[in-house]
Amino acid sequence: MIRPALDSDWPAIWAILEPTIRAGETYALARDMDEAPARAYWLNPANDAFVLEEDGQVLGTYYLRANQAGGGGHVCNCGFMTGQAAQGKGVARAMGLHALDHARARGFRAMQFNFVVATNTRAVALWESLGFTSVGRLPDAFQHPTLGYVDALVMFQAL
Amino acid sequence: MIRPALDSDWPAIWAILEPTIRAGETYALARDMDEAPARAYWLNPANDAFVLEEDGQVLGTYYLRANQAGGGGHVCNCGFMTGQAAQGKGVARAMGLHALDHARARGFRAMQFNFVVATNTRAVALWESLGFTSVGRLPDAFQHPTLGYVDALVMFQAL
């Protein structure tokens, strides 16, 4: 079940976000980011935030928001995170499909991911399988903790 | 002379920003954006903001900041605006060159513009002449007030 995130979900969401942020391999966020700014970032009032819940456990979370203001407001942006114990179970795919539906329902005309780390091949393959294409490649734009400077992709899909 | 922007420069900066924001042809900002959020956006504490001054008059302004946090923090981003009366005098070019120098001095390894409206051909040509290349093209990502949906470019330069 995918449903809007509640304030009371925050501890479960943080339990998913924190290891990913600390690992620093997939998101351009400070690895030592504190809980309060992480909450302000993920559950920002401008975001529609969701959780994927199974048997009362939050396994994944995503947010959706406009990627730009003004004349760019018809393109949305999302961030997705899956709990480490729930990897490989289709959680991200289910959230991705939900996000595409939600974006269409809100009237967005496209979805854009600004910064998909190219070495995150599982994510790249997932988004491609859901219809996204890489419309940009940012050379050496991400400093990976073990791989050094790697590219990041801009992925896009018209809705 | 290009120098750091002072709080007391705000009225002159706003006189430059407001017509560009209201026109809505080149920046993905709400056309009815109020002065206070515009100030918070341009003179954000996370930005290095500058003005180009000639004979005591502010003719142009730009900001520079990290484009991403964490592993993306070595790539900077800028925004530039030139006063309407000062168009075509090389103000933007002078600020662009200053920004590249400033970015190198701060240790940034690259500069990225996330959203250059493709119909803003003067800006595209200027950035290309200063060494930027388009590494991405966002299809129909900007709703231009008279031209309808047009592409936006992601422009990039290693430093």
Cβ–Cβ pairs < 8 A, chains A and B: 113
Contact A89, A112 (CB under 8 A): no
Of A30, A73, A154, the CB nearest to B70: A30
What is the per-residue pLDDT for B68? 97
What is the per-residue pLDDT for B44? 96
Stated length of chain B = 159
What is the per-residue pLDDT for B111? 98
What is the per-residue pLDDT for A97? 98
Share of chain B above pLDDT 90, in %: 98
Q: What average pLDDT does this structure show over B141-149?
A: 98
- Is B71 close to A135, i.e. CB distance below 8 A? no
What is the per-residue pLDDT for B24? 97
Class of domain B2-158: alpha beta
- ipTM beyond cut 0.85: yes
Contact B52, B1 (CB under 8 A): yes
Strands B57-66 vs A48-54: parallel, antiparallel or unpaired: unpaired
Q: Cα-flanking dihedrals φ and ψ of residue A69, to 5°?
A: -95, -175
What residue in A sits closest to B156 (Cα-Cα)?
Answer: A138
What is the per-residue pLDDT for B93? 98
Structure-token match 């959780």, residue found: A51
Q: Band of the pLDDT at B59, cuts 50, 70, 90? A: very high
Q: Band of the pLDDT at B78, cuts 50, 70, 90? A: very high
Q: What average pLDDT does this structure show over B61-70?
A: 98
- How close B32 comes to chain A (CA, Å)? 9
Which residues of A have a CB under 8 Å from any CB of B?
21, 24, 27-31, 33, 68-75, 109-110, 112, 114-115, 117, 135-145, 149, 152, 154, 156, 158
Kindly report the pTM of this predicted structure: 0.96
